[in-house]
Amino acid sequence: MSDSDKRLDFGLTEDQIELRGLARKLARDVYEPQAAGWDATSAHLPESERARLANLDLLGITLPQEYGGGGRPLLDALIVIEEIAKSSQLAAFPIFEASTGPARVIDLFGTEAQKAQLLPPVVRGEKTIAVAISEADAGSAATDMQIHAEIQGDEIEINGTKRWSSGAGAAEQYLVYVRFGEKQGSAGIGAVVVDKDTPGLSFGPQERLMGFRGVPSADMFFDHVRVPVDRMIISEGGFRRLFTAFSIERMGNATMSLAIGQSSLDRSARYVEERQQFGKPVVEFQLVQATLANMVMQVDAARMLIYRAATGAGNGAPNTLEASIAKCYANEMAKQVSDMAIQLHGGYGYSVEYSVERLHRDSHGWAIAGGTTNMQRIRIASEFLGRRFDQRS
């Protein structure tokens, strides 16, 4: 075990250290060599790689064992996500979705029949469940969503449009947040699982994004889409219950940012010790040392915040305040540390050859996804003070 590993262990069990080693070897041997190519071509992750993750029991790490999952605590999933995401954010995305994303919503709030039907295919790598929340005028103001759902006998009919759904057009299933009835705000919102091939569901062209290349993203159009009523995971008015699931998702998001920061730091440390200028390694210059020290402090602080929240969560959900603090800090850390990595690499940092520009591009995506850092600040103040703030008045 390296000195840096010892510093980052935080009392991990032998089983967790072994799990980290498995994920690290996979990332180094399989995903690191392919990451730049996937980014350059915006290629979606091959289904064979999703199958590989499933065969290694790295999908559904936190899902219950009775549905094929690992039944492990949240921290175990975050350990794996970080190791894979340090090499390839794209390769880590299925783990993020299965262990901290919409599959966990089904795990937390679905019926036994729903979980038995929907979760095993996720664990086996046969299906991915993506989430559809945002709309053109309902991003940070998620409760302004207007997509409409109506229960008609034993079916639900859905009409409307979703935007910024990561996985749209590629995932086999979608957890779609909808508005039942005429109630505005959170009171009318619920969530329904919709299959990709359901009649009436169509997708716009794939978005071209600054980062997250290869992660599918497209508009979703629902034109008289009908699904069985037993696909309703959250009934009308249950939106507030979902803050529990959102806190879990934010831990996955924060860990993706942590991976960016740690990878940026590791690559920079290697570079400044090898690169020569003025007849000596650039690490000998005090400004380089100071920059590297700032990177170390920020990455370590982000990890401590994430591990605090995840350790407290156990097999459940983290404290909402701790989750928002971890996400907000880790998101901003990743942007700053990856930017410093570009500066330390000089001209090479601006080249795709050294990968730090890819890390910087991806860092901005996580600071928007799952609730922007500005929205996290509002959530932090609200939770800390024990009061709500109305952004509309």
User: pLDDT tens digits for 112-158?
Assistant: 999 999 999 999 999 999 999 999 988 888 888 999 999 999 999 99
pLDDT of 181 strictly over 90 = no
Q: 36 and 54 share a domain? A: yes
Is 167 among the domain residues?
Answer: yes
Question: Cβ-count burial of 393 within 10 angstroms (0-12 exposed, 13-18 middle, 19+ buried)?
Answer: exposed
Domain final position from 89, 123, 157: 123
Q: 66 and 179 share a domain? A: no
Contact 99, 252 (CB under 8 A): yes
Domain final position from 179, 203, 237: 237
Q: 173 and 245 share a domain? A: no
| Domain total in the chain | 3
Separation CA 316–CA 107 (nearest Å) = 10
Q: 206 and 325 share a domain? A: no
Residue 19, by phi and psi: left (phi above 0), alpha (psi -120 to 50) or beta?
alpha
Q: 313 and 256 share a domain? A: yes
Q: Tell me, what DSSP letter sits at residue 157?
A: E
Contact 350, 342 (CB under 8 A): yes
Is 390 among the domain residues?
Answer: no
Separation CA 26–CA 111 (nearest Å) = 35
Domain final position from 202, 237, 272: 237
Label residue 67 by pLDDT band (50, 70, 90). very high
CATH number for the domain harbouring residue 343: 1.20.140.10
pLDDT of 382 strictly over 90 = yes
Average pLDDT, the chain: 94
pLDDT of 204 strictly over 80 = yes
Neighbours of 33 (CB within 10 A): 11
Q: How many CA atoms lie within 13 A of 57 on its CB side?
A: 13
pLDDT of 392 strictly over 80 = no
Give the domain extent around 20.
3-123
Mean pLDDT across the stretch 224-250? Answer: 91
pLDDT of 385 strictly over 80 = yes
Q: 297 and 178 share a domain? A: no
Measured at the CA of 195, the angle between CA 191 and CA 198, to 5 degrees, comes to 110
pLDDT tens figures, 342-375? 999 999 999 999 999 999 999 999 999 999 999 9
pLDDT of residue 140: 84
Cross-strand partners of 222: 160, 201
Where do runs of H (alpha helix) occur along the chain? 3-7, 14-26, 32-41, 47-55, 74-87, 89-100, 102-109, 112-123, 243-274, 286-313, 320-345, 356-366, 373-385
Does the pTM exceed 0.85? yes
Is 391 among the domain residues?
Answer: no
Q: 248 and 376 share a domain? A: yes
Report helix angle 47-55 to 89-100, nearest 10.
60
Please name the residue that has the structure tokens 């999703």. 50
Separation CA 117–CA 214 (nearest Å) = 28
Q: How much of the chain, in percent, has pLDDT values that exceed 70?
A: 97
User: Three-class SS of residue 222?
Assistant: strand
- Give the number of residues written for the chain: 393
Is 64 among the domain residues?
Answer: yes
pLDDT of residue 5: 63
Instruction: Give the least confident one: 101-110, 218-227, 255-264, 383-392.
Output: 383-392
Q: 380 and 251 share a domain? A: yes
Q: 203 and 273 share a domain? A: no
Which tokens belong to 317? 């959900």
CATH number for the domain harbouring residue 180: 2.40.110.10
pLDDT of residue 101: 94
Is 73 among the domain residues?
Answer: yes
Separation CA 205–CA 189 (nearest Å) = 27
CATH number for the domain harbouring residue 18: 1.10.540.10
